[in-house]
């Protein structure tokens, strides 16, 4: 007997809801960020306290220099003892600032590493409980981006931003407080240019949320144009339409360029002027002019004037830190929201009192199913697969074959009726127990980054090398593995570069090693060449022997010898029987068979 398989016919989920308001998104991002960094929040707060104290210690050199100036300018002999004491205080203040800041950043870096480990462990643990059907609707890139990029995007915020921002605020605030204690006019001089920057920044940020939405929409149009062009590049070049195919991308890029230039160009001059207003040269010049005038008028001492000038020069550091920190926070908040939503993906429900199947009889009892927020794609299907038999599901694309088959290993849960194995509803079986009873070989072969032996052992981690070898021999892939540089120790993607058909045979060997009594086969030869397909068919025949097998079939000639054929159309079983019985009825299956024979003719 040979076993054929079918093209995927899983219905697409409903279209996503419209994007929420930008303010609502920002609120959700901030909430997600608080939740995500909660495990290390205490460590970050402690590090911020150390950073603030360290920053205040950084004021000691400024005050010390002013005291040195006062001591040197005082009438009479120089007080060397006082100068020595102030010098040591300056050194101690600088050293304390470096030490406390270093300790604070070490704490946050350790916190960052700990948080990354916690998040990746949570992702692995949570996604391990998500229904398998979720992975068929979401690309592996989403999971990779979350585990690598999104977790990494939190680094700057956790390891640097909080401590550095706290220090950048504490230093000028402490300095300004000291200036107010000396003379409030010195503090005003340090801040006199700040209102100009604040007014310019407020003007530049007018309509920022709307502009960002427009920019994101423009980026989306460019991305869509790129995907459209790349996806059809072979066709358009073959017909000499390359220049025309570029047009949609060129138009999208041109529209974005025009929008962005129109938004940014008026702000560039203002931004340059406003940035200069809080730059160290301008702030220093204004503070120097004012302090010198106050000293000349006798309102402050020369030492106090010098202190005012030095402290005023640290104000720009706060503006810079706030600017860079805001961008880091936006990046981290967006990443935190994506992680938060991924971690809230509904998991596969587990029964409070799980049961164990008795036998391997498979029953679909009045099964109904529909994807979230969509209409039902299966309507009251009742079907029984007896132990040791092969049942094939056939029908046109979109009839629900693959959807029905994947309900057995709980890729999704039914929305009505029940799927049973050994008389037990699959929803009442612990997932670990279920996957010891149900195996599956699908068209989309997934091999993990590891040795070929480890990939096969996914079916049974405790299997010996001899058991792995025998499974690969039965799966028809042993000879290919022995040709590789390190044989079974060859690593997938490094020294084990396998074709689609060879990878499929590895997955069949994995299923053989798992030795599950119930088996689902769906599209196992979809991407195999004719030679590989013949080898896969032989391996599948070995795999199916003596098991309860449910096959999604496309090439009807390969399932003529199965025990039962169920014909699906629009989510319903319209016919059921053996190959001969169905041909004799001259119904839907007979029409498909005639069409199949016509396609096979030269």
**Count of domains for the chain:** 2
Last residue of a domain, one of 343, 378, 410: 343
Reported as a pLDDT band with limits 50, 70 and 90, residue 105 is very high
- Are residues 388 and 535 located together in one domain of the fold? yes
- For the chain, the distance separating the N- and C-terminal CA atoms, rounded to the nearest angstrom, is 25
Does residue 447 carry a pLDDT above 70? Answer: yes
> For the domain that residue 135 is a member of, what is the CATH number?
1.20.1560.10
Reported as a pLDDT band with limits 50, 70 and 90, residue 6 is very low
Reported as a pLDDT band with limits 50, 70 and 90, residue 420 is very high
Task: Please report the pLDDT score of residue 417 as a whole number.
Answer: 92
Does residue 3 carry a pLDDT above 50? Answer: no
The answer to the question of residue 1 being in a domain is no
Does residue 244 carry a pLDDT above 80? Answer: no
- Are residues 399 and 538 located together in one domain of the fold? yes
The winner for highest mean pLDDT among 204-218, 236-250, 444-458, 536-550 is 444-458
Give mean pLDDT, residues 339-355: 84
- Are residues 453 and 529 located together in one domain of the fold? yes
- Are residues 334 and 372 located together in one domain of the fold? no
The answer to the question of residue 213 being in a domain is no
The answer to the question of residue 196 being in a domain is no
The answer to the question of residue 457 being in a domain is yes
**Dist CA 488 CA 314 (whole Å):** 63
- Are residues 335 and 366 located together in one domain of the fold? no
Give mean pLDDT, residues 370-390: 85
Does residue 398 carry a pLDDT above 90? Answer: no
- Are residues 475 and 383 located together in one domain of the fold? yes
Sheet harboring 424-425: ordered strands across? Answer: 376-385, 362-370, 416-421, 424-425
Give the largest CA-CA distance in the chain.
124
* Closest CA relative to residue 382, chosen from 373, 391, 374, 372: 391
**Dist CA 138 CA 444 (whole Å):** 13
Domain range for 147 is: 22-182+317-343
Does residue 232 carry a pLDDT above 50? Answer: yes
- Are residues 457 and 515 located together in one domain of the fold? yes
- Are residues 325 and 436 located together in one domain of the fold? no
Inter-residue contact 289 to 305 (CB < 8 Å): no
Would you put residue 53 in left (φ > 0), alpha (ψ -120 to 50) or beta? alpha
Q: What is the pLDDT of residues 363-377, one digit of tens each?
A: 999 999 988 656 788
Does residue 423 carry a pLDDT above 70? Answer: yes
Task: Please report the pLDDT score of residue 212 as a whole number.
Answer: 61
- Are residues 331 and 386 located together in one domain of the fold? no
- Are residues 325 and 469 located together in one domain of the fold? no
The answer to the question of residue 173 being in a domain is yes
Does residue 202 carry a pLDDT above 70? Answer: no
Rounded to the nearest integer, the mean pLDDT of the chain is 78
The answer to the question of residue 469 being in a domain is yes
Q: What is the pLDDT of residues 278-317, one digit of tens each?
A: 666 777 777 788 888 888 878 887 777 877 887 777 777 6
Reported as a pLDDT band with limits 50, 70 and 90, residue 534 is low
- Are residues 430 and 377 located together in one domain of the fold? yes
**CB neighbourhood size of 141 (10 A):** 9
**Per the structure block, which two tokens stand in for 291?**
């302090």
Task: Please report the pLDDT score of residue 523 as a whole number.
Answer: 62
The answer to the question of residue 83 being in a domain is yes
Task: Please report the pLDDT score of residue 11 as a whole number.
Answer: 40
The answer to the question of residue 543 being in a domain is yes
Of 229 and 75, the structure prediction assigns the larger pLDDT to 75
Task: Please report the pLDDT score of residue 18 as a whole number.
Answer: 44
> For the domain that residue 546 is a member of, what is the CATH number?
3.40.50.300
**Dist CA 93 CA 89 (whole Å):** 6
Residues 6+ apart with CB under 8 A from 304: 66, 182, 183, 186, 295
- Are residues 329 and 385 located together in one domain of the fold? no
**Per the structure block, which two tokens stand in for 331?**
């990046």
Give mean pLDDT, residues 81-104: 86
Q: What is the full DSSP assignment across 461-487?
A: TT--HHHHHHHHHHTT-HHHHHTSTTG
CA distances from 513 to 294, 474, 491 (A): 89, 10, 19
């Amino acid at each position: 007997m040979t076993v054929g398989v079918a093209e995927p016919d899983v219905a697409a989920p409903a279209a996503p809801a419209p994007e929420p308001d930008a303010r609502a998104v920002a609120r959700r991002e901030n909430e997600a960020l608080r939740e995500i960094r909660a495990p290390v929040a205490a460590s970050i707060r402690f590090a911020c306290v150390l950073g603030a104290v360290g920053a205040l210690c950084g004021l000691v050199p400024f005050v010390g220099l002013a005291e040195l100036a006062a001591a040197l300018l005082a009438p009479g002999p120089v007080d060397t003892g006082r100068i020595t004491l102030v010098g040591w205080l300056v050194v101690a203040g600088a050293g304390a600032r470096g030490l406390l800041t270093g300790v604070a950043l070490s704490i946050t870096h350790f916190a960052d590493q700990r948080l990354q480990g916690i998040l990746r462990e949570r992702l692995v643990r949570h996604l391990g409980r998500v229904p398998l059907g979720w992975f068929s609707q979401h690309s592996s890139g989403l999971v990779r981006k979350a585990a690598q990029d999104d977790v990494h995007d939190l680094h700057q915020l956790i390891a640097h931003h909080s401590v550095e921002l706290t220090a950048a605020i504490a230093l000028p605030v402490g300095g300004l407080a000291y200036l107010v204690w000396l003379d409030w006019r010195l503090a005003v001089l340090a801040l006199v240019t700040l209102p100009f920057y604040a007014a310019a920044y407020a003007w530049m940020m007018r309509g920022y949320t709307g502009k960002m939405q427009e920019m994101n929409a423009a980026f989306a149009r460019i991305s869509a144009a790129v995907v459209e062009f790349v996806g059809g590049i072979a066709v358009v070049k073959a017909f000499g339409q390359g220049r025309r195919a570029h047009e949609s991308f060129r138009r999208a890029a041109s529209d974005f360029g025009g929008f962005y230039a129109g938004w940014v160009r008026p702000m560039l001059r203002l931004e340059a002027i406003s940035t200069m207003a809080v730059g160290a040269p301008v702030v220093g010049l204004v503070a120097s002019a004012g302090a010198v005038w106050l000293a000349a008028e006798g309102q402050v001492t020369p030492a106090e004037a010098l202190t005012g000038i030095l402290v005023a020069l640290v104000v720009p550091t706060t503006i810079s830190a706030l600017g860079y920190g805001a961008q880091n926070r936006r990046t981290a908040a967006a990443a935190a929201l994506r992680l938060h939503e991924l971690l809230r993906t509904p998991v596969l429900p587990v029964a409070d009192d799980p049961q164990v199947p008795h036998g391997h009889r498979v029953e679909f009892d009045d099964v109904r199913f529909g994807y979230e927020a969509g209409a039902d794609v299966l309507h009251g299907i009742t079907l029984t697969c007896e132990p040791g038999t092969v049942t094939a599901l056939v029908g046109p694309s979109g009839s629900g074959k693959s959807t029905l088959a994947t309900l057995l290993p709980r890729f999704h849960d039914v929305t009505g009726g029940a799927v049973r194995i050994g008389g037990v509803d699959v929803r009442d079986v612990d997932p670990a127990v279920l996957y010891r009873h149900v195996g599956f070989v699908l068209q989309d072969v997934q091999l993990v980054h590891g040795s070929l032996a480890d990939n096969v052992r996914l079916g049974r981690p405790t299997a010996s090398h001899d058991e792995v070898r025998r499974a690969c021999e039965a799966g028809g892939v042993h000879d290919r593995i022995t040709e590789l540089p390190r044989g079974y120790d060859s690593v997938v993607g490094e020294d084990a570069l396998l074709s689609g058909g060879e990878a499929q045979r590895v997955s069949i060997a994995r299923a053989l090693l798992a030795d599950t009594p119930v088996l689902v086969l769906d599209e196992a030869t979809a991407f195999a060449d004719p030679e590989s397909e013949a080898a896969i068919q032989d391996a599948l025949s070995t795999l199916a022997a003596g098991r309860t097998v449910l096959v999604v079939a496309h090439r009807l000639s390969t399932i003529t010898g199965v025990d039962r054929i169920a014909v699906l159309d629009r989510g319903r079983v319209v016919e059921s029987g053996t190959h001969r019985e169905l041909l004799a009825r001259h119904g839907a299956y007979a029409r498909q068979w005639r069409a199949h024979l016509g396609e096979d003719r030269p």
